[in-house]
């Protein structure tokens, strides 16, 4: 649809994913579609919404095609917006398969209800040890104990307070080649903590990052010799995640709540 064509309306929701209560967790935009819009329109909607990610989904047989857009780019994997999309599907009238099946750029993802949480099944992403580049060190203003490459740069520190007190140079981090930067350490009252910075895709700091657990849960699971992990993200909003490791998959669960409902008008009136 071009911008000169008559407008159409799209339902729009903001859902707080991995929330501990009001005004916590990671807000995701969610747009259920009857048919797909051009990619440039999806990107403009995500930029206009200006949340970490906006999820767009449309039914495809007995599953849903799901795509995620940050304000400046489409991304390959987004956990919190997947949880948010599933929350909207489960809250919609009608019968729904369980688990829900989402067809994505990262393959088939499933989400099912587990009590008051939603649990999604994500692929495990291996970490490749790597020397920390200068832009990473300059951006963090601290030298990690270890650095890895995966979908993001991953930096491991020795304690929670170091991660909490980082004040990154986002312009330096923006020069890096991967999606973003994850910083992580053992937690004081959880198994591990993290923060996530993605200035290269328009996200200075992500409030709670589900996809990060595809990389971090296997690392900490091996290090701590555990298959069940409790996780806390140390952003200003904060959020809690629960991870279960099995085979080459990571099950990540958390709570979600709808914050806002509305309508997007696309095209000319």
Active site residues: 53
Give the Cα separation of 107 and 110 in Å (integer): 10
Apex 38 CA angle, 32 and 44, nearest 5: 80
- 224: which residues sit within 8 A by CB, 6+ positions away? 191, 192
Query: What element of type H or E holds 165?
Result: helix 160-165
The residues with which 268 forms a beta bridge, in sequence order, are 6
Pair 162, 185: CB distance under 8 Å:
yes
Pair 228, 244: CB distance under 8 Å:
yes
Query: What element of type H or E holds 88?
Result: helix 79-91
Two tokens at 141? 């203003």
Apex 34 CA angle, 32 and 35, nearest 5: 110
The residues with which 29 forms a beta bridge, in sequence order, are 14, 54
Cα separation of the two ends of the chain: 14
């Amino acid at each position: 649809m071009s911008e000169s064509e008559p407008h159409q309306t799209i339902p729009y929701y903001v859902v707080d994913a991995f929330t501990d209560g009001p005004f916590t967790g990671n807000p995701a935009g969610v747009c259920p579609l009857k048919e797909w819009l051009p990619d440039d329109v999806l990107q403009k909607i995500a930029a206009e919404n200006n949340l970490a990610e906006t999820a767009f989904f449309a039914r495809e047989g007995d599953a849903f095609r799901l795509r995620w857009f940050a304000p400046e780019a489409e991304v390959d994997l987004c956990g919190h917006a997947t949880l948010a999309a599933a929350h909207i599907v489960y809250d919609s009238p009608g019968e729904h398969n369980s688990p829900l099946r989402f067809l994505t750029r990262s393959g088939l993802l499933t989400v099912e209800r587990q009590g008051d949480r939603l649990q999604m099944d994500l692929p495990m992403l291996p970490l490749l040890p790597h020397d920390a580049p200068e832009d990473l060190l300059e951006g963090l203003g601290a030298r990690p104990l270890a650095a890895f490459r995966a979908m993001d740069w991953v930096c491991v520190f020795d304690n929670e307070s170091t991660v909490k007190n980082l004040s990154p140079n986002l312009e330096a981090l923006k020069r890096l080649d991967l999606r973003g930067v994850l910083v992580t350490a053992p937690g004081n009252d959880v198994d591990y903590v993290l923060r996530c910075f993605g200035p290269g895709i328009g996200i200075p700091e992500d409030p709670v990052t589900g996809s990060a657990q595809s990389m971090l849960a296997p690392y900490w699971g091996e290090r701590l010799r555990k298959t069940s992990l409790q996780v806390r993200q140390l952003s200003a909003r904060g959020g809690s995640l629960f991870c279960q490791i099995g085979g080459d998959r990571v099950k990540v669960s958390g709570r979600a709540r709808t914050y806002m409902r509305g309508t997007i008008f696309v095209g000319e009136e």
